[in-house]
Structure formats: structure tokens, C-alpha cells
Structure 1
Amino acid sequence: MVTRISHWIDGAVVPGTSGRTGPVYNPATGLQSGEVDLASAEEVNGAVASAKAAAAEWRSSSLSRRSAVLFAFRELLHDGADELAKILTAEHGKVLADAHGEIARGLENVEFACGVPQLLKGGFSEQASSGVDVYSIRQPLGVVAGITPFNFPAMVPLWMAANAIACGNAFVLKPSEKDPSSSMWLAEAWKKAGLPDGVFSVVHGDKEAVDALLTHPDIAAVSFVGSTPIARYIYETGTAHGKRVQALGGAKNHMVVLPDADVDMAADAAVSAAYGAAGERCMAISVAVAVGDVGGPLVDAIAARLPKLRVGNGADPDSEMGPLITREHRDKVAGYIASGAESGAVVVVDGREADVPSDGFFLGTTLLDQVTPEMEVYRDEIFGPVLCVVRADTYEEALELVNANQYANGVAIFTRDGGAARQFQFDVEVGMVGINVPIPVPVAYYSFGGWKASLFGDTHMYGPEGINFYTRGKVVTSRWPDPATSVIDLGFPRTR
């Protein structure tokens, strides 16, 4: 049965009226499971109008009320994790363990936002001048929008919406049309938690809906996570229309392995970080940089682990890696493997030859050795279960390789040498650094984001920077009449 997936506007499911829809597949079977409505510009306008009306009331709500809603939403998200994980697996394909991990990281951000009374505290200076006090406050922007990717259809919206709503804004979500159902689950949970209608909206769609949000005069800010070309477009279009924009782009994350590293530890980390969620993660390790004589043992250790990695339907508890999101993307990734082989890379493990289910959009794990920076498999963000190994003679050569890459999202170093690790975190030009940690995604009370072509704008996602992004600072300077001249008897000595 094919399920129709409609919009969520003003606290209710609203069927689309554009006449345009898109297919939603179960990647594990290759069968269509849903049909999602694609919004027209007029439908986006309606959602924004509803959000604008709701924002006017929500911004005046007390901080304690906002916290109460967030705490209630947190409980619903926690208690409904099994149900939501099944939705994620059915439409994205990731295994249930990965789906639960995604929800857990989203939950962290909700918990951070629950502390909004503390997060929005300003400063106060008494007697900045004689009889003059100065204080600062932060106020919401109004209506803000989030445009989110297919690879984390629950977590990334929670990165954005939790802080945005806590700060007193109304939030309009445009999720990926490839796996839209989790956004509807979140919408219903917000309503059950007591969030007023219109404060959280969902409009499904493609470029028409995106452009309508980017150019709408009542959208004050846009948050985006996706590929670098689209991030650049989002940033340039949104800012050209006067909006505050944070746009996180692509990645080509490196893992530098020094000669003194624990090879088994590094190999385990590489397998988890490169092939988890079929490599469809912006923080996935794409390149292992083997320094000195560690290359041979590292490649052998990784290769020995891959046959043990079970690829199958994400709904099967025994599966460790699921399918890719679409048939087209699976074939594109397979094309990169062919390109790497043609360019001279050594194909140690070939995912195209793996014993994987014949139905669905499956591809096995691939390990390419002797990759060089000139190869397409090194330059491009593949976004699939392909790990490239590059050999470097020295630490300095490895560092130069990492710093020369156009992407600067995440990086890791594996070593037993504390001095080398400290020097690396000082030298490397990347936004998020892991030391013996392969995927250094910050906890919710820090902020997420890379450098260079991985970030457009100057604000990282969630955490303290997220609070600042969704609010504007205001400074108030106040002077009151001299109490000595007051006609009101205060009942205590007057002072100057």
C-alpha cells in the first residue's frame, strides 16, 4: 500500500493542492511505500502566514511555559523512540541501531533547549552612568525555516527546531522529500506536547518550495544542511533577500593514523565511521591517511573486518549496514568505485562484488588503497560505503594533505602521542577534530560546523551558537526620575 504524505500546517495534516507529488521508497526492498505532496509557492505562503500569526503569540509566552513544552516533547521523543526508529529505517534504510543513535543525538539537543531560561539570560550594569542602568536582552526573530537532508531526517530538524522554538520563534520545516514521514511524527509530537498550532509547520517539496522560503519576506532566517553546491545556493539566495543564513555543506573527512597508533583500535574506528549508515553521513570518514609504515597493517586490519560486516535490511536486528537511499545514488557510488580502479587505485575490497540482497538499493563495502589527491574518488564527496586510503611519509605531509582539501568539516587523528595530538589540533584547519575519536560530532552544549566549503555563513549549528542564531541582541539604556523629586513616598531614605 502506498501512503500519502501531506503537509502539517496550523496544527493539522493539510493535503497538498499543487497537483505534484514525489515517490517515497523503502530502500531495502526497492518498492514504493509513499507518495509525498510537493508544495507550490502558494502553499508555502499559507504555511508561513500561519507561522507568522502563531509567532506573535508564542514570543510573548513565558520562559517557563516554553520549558514545559520542551520537557513534554522530550518525554514523547524518548518514549516514542522505537516507533520513530522504525519510520527512519523504513524510509532511509539505516539499521535500527543507527536510527536509535540518530534519535539519541537529536534528544540531546532538545534537552539542551529545555534550559532556555538560563540560555537567554542577559547582562545588567547598574549605574553605568549616574542614575543610568544598561542591560542586554535577546529576542526571537519571528518565523524561521529549516531545510534538512535525507541522511538524518529526525536529528537535523531537532538540531534546528528545538532551539528556534525555545527562543520564541515559529519554525517551518522543509524536509527531504526522499524520507518525509519522520517530520510528520515530530509535528504530531510537538502538538501533543502542548506547542500552539502554527509554531511548528512542515511543508514538503522540492526546489519550488525551497525558493519560496528563501525569498519570502516573512522568513527571517534559514538553516540548511546538505551538499556544498546547494549550501552555496541557499546562502547566496537567502542573504540576497535579507535573511540570516547558516548553511552547512559537504565533507571529505580524513582520519590520520600515525605510526604509533593502536592499529586494531584505528581499524575498528575506520570501519564504524566509514561504513555506518552506508557512509551516508556528513561526518563519515572518507579518507584514511596512513603515515609511515602503518599503511600495510592498517589496510590489512580493515580488510579483515569487512567480510564480517553484515549488510541487509535495516529492520533486521542482525544487520549492521543497510542500503543506500535510492537506486540512482547506489549506481553513482558504484561508478566512483569503477573510476577509482581506472585511475590506478588498488581495489582491496570491491562492494560491487559483495553478497548483498538482490532487492533494494544495496552495495557492499569498498576499500581503495594507494589513492592519490588527483583521483576523482579523493576529490569528490562520494557519500557511500567507500573508504580511500592515502599513504603519507610524514606527519607534515599528512597535515598538508588535510589542510589543502576544500572541505573542512571533520577530521580525526589516531596516535598514542599526546604531544602529536595537541600539535595536530593546533595545526589542522578543520572545524571539528577528533583525537582517537573517528566521528567528532560535538555534544549538544557545543556547536556543530566545519570550515571552508563545509560552511557558508559564520554561525555553526545548535548549542550556544544556535541560540544566538535564532535571536537578536538588544541593549536597553534606562534612566528614571531622581527619587528625591518623586511625589510618591517610598517609605525609606532617598539616595542619589
Structure 2
Amino acid sequence: MRDIVHLIGGSATAGTSGRTSDVFDPNTGQVQARVALASAADLDAAVANAVAAQPAWGATNPQRRARVMFAFKALVEAEMDSLAHMLSSEHGKVIADSRGDIQRGLEVIEFACGIPHLLKGEYTQGAGPGIDVYSMRQPLGVVAGITPFNFPAMIPMWMFGVAIACGNAFILKPSERDPSLPLRLGELMLEAGLPAGILNVVHGDKVAVDAILDHPDVKAVSFVGSSDIAHYVYRRGVAAGKRVQAMGGAKNHGVVLPDADMDQTVADLVGAAFGSAGERCMALPVVVPVGKATADELRERLLPEIAKLRLGVSTDLDAHYGPVVSAAHRERIESYIGMGVDDGAELVVDGRGFSLQGHEGGFFVGPTLFDYVKPHMQSYQDEIFGPVLQMVRAESLAEAISLPSKHQYGNGVAIFTRNGPAAREFAATVDVGMVGINVPIPVPVAYHSFGGWKRSAFGDTGIHGTEGVRFYTRLKTVTQRWPSLDAGAAVTDSSFVIPTMK
């Protein structure tokens, strides 16, 4: 049995807790490894190493820090094939999707390579008589990231890439469900020239999470996961005096107007709803056709496309998606399908009980389609996080806008239309943080910032982009005046009034 350990201070360590968790192969349902679960003492050791290493790294000039990022990017690209297979074997997503997971993370690493420019401050000469003012952004010190199972490459790189480039040391607590890839990323950072102790990978459960949130030397925490846990992380971290950004769940809607390009819209919906088995916070699990004719046509066109979907093991190059991450998650998804039936929605395609020949123990869920879903239904209110598409019919654009706007989540939303004014109104008025116009999964590019609204995000900064740089640094502003070199210059009298530029 393979054992997965921590990376602390540049060295592999099993830790002190003696506790482990099983790592499954979702394709077969079999245990393939054991991952060590950290104790509070293990977390303390990681933070101590980070505290010792950070000052020298923070004092390293930004261009040299950027060179480590360049080297890391090259190493990841060289291992792309093996990393994708590693990811798929523990998560279950197909190889092509794993490559996308890694590549989307590398795009933020590319952004972090520009850190010398991003850390430039501002300067004003002559702000007052003989007075100049300038600002600088300095690292916080030791920061941490708690990342989810569904993007074990992308989200860690979204966090540690920017944080480390800014001069911080980083504690990464990845999901214990698919820990091998995050650990390998930590090893590759060392190979790229990162000093030991700057990136520590500590596996664990709530014990490790609470130790991060309570540790006085951890100055900031970034989190991605479910909304309930995000809220917990935010409250506990802020109470401990930390800067916290905590991204939660989602229930993204796709509004379809009568003038939409229906061929493209159907293709986009099928990919966004069922890709990666729906295990994405930016998946599109709710479609809102406007008008009966639009809804009827959309349903008729969706059915044959759903029927064409091929489920397979992660290494099946022809598969559209693979298994979900665990048996417990499969049961949860299927329970929500049953809940939708009980609440009165029409189950058009039922994905429960799917079995793949030769892989009967795998955690597979077939594609599912509901029609006539109503906003009061629990299966609509909650995030299912599986290959389930729900159709909520609307009579007008105003009603369609109100659905995502009133929902508890506000992560992403999309509209499909050829009508520019309608799209403009939608983007301006919908109460959601990320909007797509004829784009089904509107994840911002790396040099913009990712972040939802309402129960999809706690905290006031987004991940990566310039928001990420602000999150992992603090502003220092210097106001300076140099005395005249003329020995006979007059001395300015003391003033007991607040300085002004009057």
C-alpha cells in the first residue's frame, strides 16, 4: 500500500499523529493509498519552518522570485502527462479534463511570473514643500491555503503561485481525497529552486484546518469548498485576526432567450452541466429558458445530446466524463435526484444506478435531466455538485434575471442570446459575481480575479489577478522630507495642527 506523507521544511515526513485516511481510485472503488493526517504539532512544525525561511525569501528581489516561477512552469509542462494521470487516478475526471485543470493553474503561475511589475508602488514628487510620498506592497509573512478535491492542481496554484511570488511562505492543506498531485507540485517547486520551508504541504482533516485558523503566525488564509465550511473558516479566521478569503458553493444558472443560437447553446449546456461529472463550482446545473416555445425546443434538443454522452474510466480517451470522487458523494447526488422527484419535478433522464461494465465498483452517476423544477424545491436551492441539469422555465427576461439574483448563491451565471441590449441589461442587473455572455463557464482569465457573491464567497477580495496580489501583501506608504544641506537654512517652527496641503 502506497503511503502519502507531508512535505515540511523541504523534507518528506509522516508526521506525528499516526492517523491516516484512505485514498480511493474512483474508477474501481478500491483503496489505492493511505494519506497521513496531520496533528496540530505537525502544523506547528510546518509553520515554524515557514517562519524561519520567509524573511530571506521576502528580501529576495522580485525578479529572482519570478525566475523560480518560470522554472516551475517548465517542470510542470515537462511532466504534464504523468501529472494528469496522477490527478485522474485519484479524482476520477478524464485525462483531458485533468490536463485542463493543470493548465488553468499554470496560467496563474504565468501571471505570477510578472510579479516585479505587479509589486511596483506609486510615487509622488513634491506632494508638499520638499516632501515626496511613495508606497510599497510588502508580503504578509506566512499564509495558508485550504483547497478542495475537485481542482487539486488549479486551485493550489491559484493560491501559492501569487502568494509565494509576492514574498510569502505558504502552507498548503489540500483535500485528503486526492493529495498526490498537490504534493508533487510542492516537490517540483523545490526542484525549481524554491528554498525549503517556503512551500509546505500538510495533509489533514478538521484538525489541520483548525490548527491553521488558530495559529498566530499564519497571517492570511485562502479557502475554497462548500459554503457552510467557507463561512466557518471565515468566521474563525477573522476572529483570530487573520485576513481571510473563503469561496463557497454555487448554483449557476444559464438563461436562454428565444433568439439564442440553439445549436451552440445546447452544446455549451451539455458540456457545462456534465463535464467533470458536474463537480465544478462553475458548472452550469440550472438552465432557464424564457418562454414555452424556447423551453420545449431546448428540451427536445437536449435529449439526443445527453443520450450520446459516454461515461468511462478516466483513461478512456472517448469518455466525456468519469466517476465522481467517492461512494458517499455518489449516494448524495442520487439522494438529491430522488428528492427532486419527491418534490414534483419531472425526471426526464434518470442517471441513478449507472454501472460500467468491468468497473462495477466505480463511483459512476449517469447524466440526469429534470424539467419543471420550481424555486421552492430543495434540490434547486442546494448545490448538488453532480451530473444533474435542472430546467426552470421562465416567462420573461425579468423573471429569468430574478432567479439567480434571489438564489442564496451568487458565483456564476450565463446568458445565451444574440440580443445585445438584453445581454447588457442582464450583466448590469443580475446579482451574481461572474457573468458569461454566450460563455457557459465564465471563469476569469488569470490576470483578472475570480470571486462570487452572497454565500458563494466570504471576504472582500478575489483569487488571483491583482486582487490576489492585494490579498497576499499589505500597503506601506512613506512620506519623506530631507533637510536642506544649507547650514544656514531656516528651521520650520513646530506645528500642533494636522498637516494639510492648504
Normalising by the smaller structure, the TM-score range is over 0.9
Letter in 2 for 1:399: I
Contact 1:409 1:430 in 2 (8 A): yes
Task: Choose which of 411, 414, 417 in structure 1 pairs with 2:413.
Answer: 411
Equivalent residue, structure 1, for 2:111 = 112
Q: Distance in 2 between matches of 1:420 and 1:391?
A: 18
Q: Distance in 2 between matches of 1:162 and 1:355?
A: 40
Q: Distance in 1 between matches of 2:271 and 2:355?
A: 20
Equivalent residue, structure 1, for 2:476 = 474
Shift of 1:19: 1.0
Letter in 2 for 1:329: H
Higher alpha-carbon deviation: 338-347 or 179-188: 338-347
- What is the CA deviation profile of residues 125-176 of structure 1, one whole-angstrom value per residue up to 9, with x for unaligned ones? 1111111111000000000000000000110000100000000000000000
Q: Does the residue aligned with 2:297 lie in a helix, a strand or coil? A: helix
Equivalent residue, structure 2, for 1:342 = 342
Contact 2:355 2:364 in 1 (8 A): no
Q: Distance in 2 between matches of 1:467 and 1:147?
A: 18
Equivalent residue, structure 2, for 1:352 = 352
Identity %: 56
Contact 2:16 2:41 in 1 (8 A): no
Q: Distance in 2 between matches of 1:30 and 1:408?
A: 34
Equivalent residue, structure 2, for 1:84 = 83
Q: Distance in 2 between matches of 1:159 and 1:103?
A: 10
Equivalent residue, structure 2, for 1:490 = none
Equivalent residue, structure 2, for 1:493 = none
Equivalent residue, structure 1, for 2:312 = 312
Letter in 1 for 2:169: A
Contact 2:356 2:362 in 1 (8 A): no
Equivalent residue, structure 1, for 2:450 = 448
Q: Does the residue aligned with 1:165 lie in a helix, a strand or coil? A: helix
Shift of 1:16: 2.1
Equivalent residue, structure 1, for 2:500 = none
Shift of 1:184: 1.0
Higher alpha-carbon deviation: 460-469 or 306-315: 306-315
Q: Does 1:330 align with 2:334?
A: no
Letter in 1 for 2:479: T
Q: Distance in 2 between matches of 1:53 and 1:88?
A: 32
Task: Choose which of 431, 455, 470 in structure 1 pairs with 2:433.
Answer: 431
Equivalent residue, structure 1, for 2:390 = 388
Q: Distance in 2 between matches of 1:275 and 1:436?
A: 18
Q: Does the residue aligned with 1:173 lie in a helix, a strand or coil? A: strand
Q: Does the residue aligned with 1:299 lie in a helix, a strand or coil? A: helix
- What is the CA deviation profile of residues 268-314 of structure 1, one whole-angstrom value per residue up to 9, with x for unaligned ones? 11100000000000000010001012001111111110121110101
Equivalent residue, structure 1, for 2:497 = none
Contact 2:284 2:440 in 1 (8 A): yes
Q: Distance in 2 between matches of 1:138 and 1:345?
A: 53
Q: Does the residue aligned with 1:74 lie in a helix, a strand or coil? A: helix
Q: Does the residue aligned with 1:59 lie in a helix, a strand or coil? A: helix
Contact 1:356 1:363 in 2 (8 A): no
Q: Does 1:52 align with 2:51?
A: yes
CA separation of 1:217/1:353 partners in 2, compared to 1, >3 Å: closer, same or farther? closer
Q: Does the residue aligned with 2:393 lie in a helix, a strand or coil? A: strand
State TM-score, norm by structure 1. 0.97
Q: Does the residue aligned with 1:477 lie in a helix, a strand or coil? A: strand
Q: Distance in 2 between matches of 1:219 and 1:289?
A: 43
After TM superposition, the structure 1 = structure 2 runs for residues 134-213 of structure 1, keeping only pairs within 5 Å, are: 134-213=133-212
Q: Does the residue aligned with 1:391 lie in a helix, a strand or coil? A: coil
Q: Does the residue aligned with 2:282 lie in a helix, a strand or coil? A: coil
Q: Distance in 2 between matches of 1:41 and 1:17?
A: 9
Q: Distance in 1 between matches of 2:246 and 2:404?
A: 22
- What is the CA deviation profile of residues 51-83 of structure 1, one whole-angstrom value per residue up to 9, with x for unaligned ones? 011111110001121011111011111221111
Q: Does the residue aligned with 1:483 lie in a helix, a strand or coil? A: coil
Q: Distance in 2 between matches of 1:310 and 1:401?
A: 31
